[in-house]
Chain A
């Protein structure tokens, strides 16, 4: 079945630094990738949608200059949290949509802790 690899699974960074999270579709080409954020005991909140070769579309209230998304190929999207602060600590999850079958596959998530 379709597999999405998300890396790293956990990261701790200092306040003010930037962190990059990678999302790769391993055995399919992803037309579109989605980035979600999840706080403890809450549901997934969609942050942005990215299409290969074009700018990401951000959901209302999500700072595009803080959460930089790059979707340079049909198998790779990256999320960079810039100038991270403790309130950015969260569980970040990516999802890739198969360009042939239009199914959605999720990565295993990245636990970001900003200290």
Chain B
């Protein structure tokens, strides 16, 4: 079973920031938070991942709470092309780990003009 909880859907106005929450209250100390998104009829696309510090890349920012029980993915200036299903996944990360990614139901983000 997925170890995360996300709202099923969200709307965002084009050009505004999209803030997608994720609850992972049972996260373990060695588990990272990963975010992927899936645009209709395509394979999932990696967005960002983090352990406990906030992370930022060219696509998004990831804010993880101090207790690590929840996180927020931020798309700073959403465009229509960001309309997709966003998945928050937790899993261990390490040199000898080949663990699988288990997908929950995700959040369907609809960016509106």
- Report the Cα distance A107→B42, complex, angstroms: 8
Contact pick for B104, options A32, A43, A102, A104, CB 8 Å: A43
A51 and B44 within 8 A (CB):
no
Contacts of A97 in B (CB 8 A): 98
Interface residues of A in 29-48 (CB under 8 A from B): 31-32, 34, 36, 43-46
Min CB–CB distance B41 → chain A (angstroms): 7
Interface residues of A in 88-115 (CB under 8 A from B): 91, 93, 95, 97, 102-109, 111
- Report the Cα distance A34→B104, complex, angstroms: 16
B103 and A107 within 8 A (CB):
no
A106 and B43 within 8 A (CB):
yes
> Would you call A6 an interface residue if the criterion is a C-beta within 8 Å of the partner chain's C-beta atoms?
yes
A95 and B104 within 8 A (CB):
no
A31 and B98 within 8 A (CB):
yes
Interface residues of B in 67-103 (CB under 8 A from A): 85, 87, 93-95, 97-98, 100-103
Contact pick for A44, options B44, B45, B94, B98, CB 8 Å: B44
Residues of A with Cβ closer than 8 Å to B?
Answer: 4, 6, 31-32, 34, 36, 43-46, 49, 51, 91, 93, 95, 97, 102-109, 111
Residues of B with Cβ closer than 8 Å to A?
Answer: 36, 38, 41-46, 85, 87, 93-95, 97-98, 100-106
Known: A6-B43, A44-B38, A93-B43. 7 other contacts (CB 8 A): A32-B98, A43-B103, A44-B103, A46-B101, A91-B41, A106-B45, A109-B42
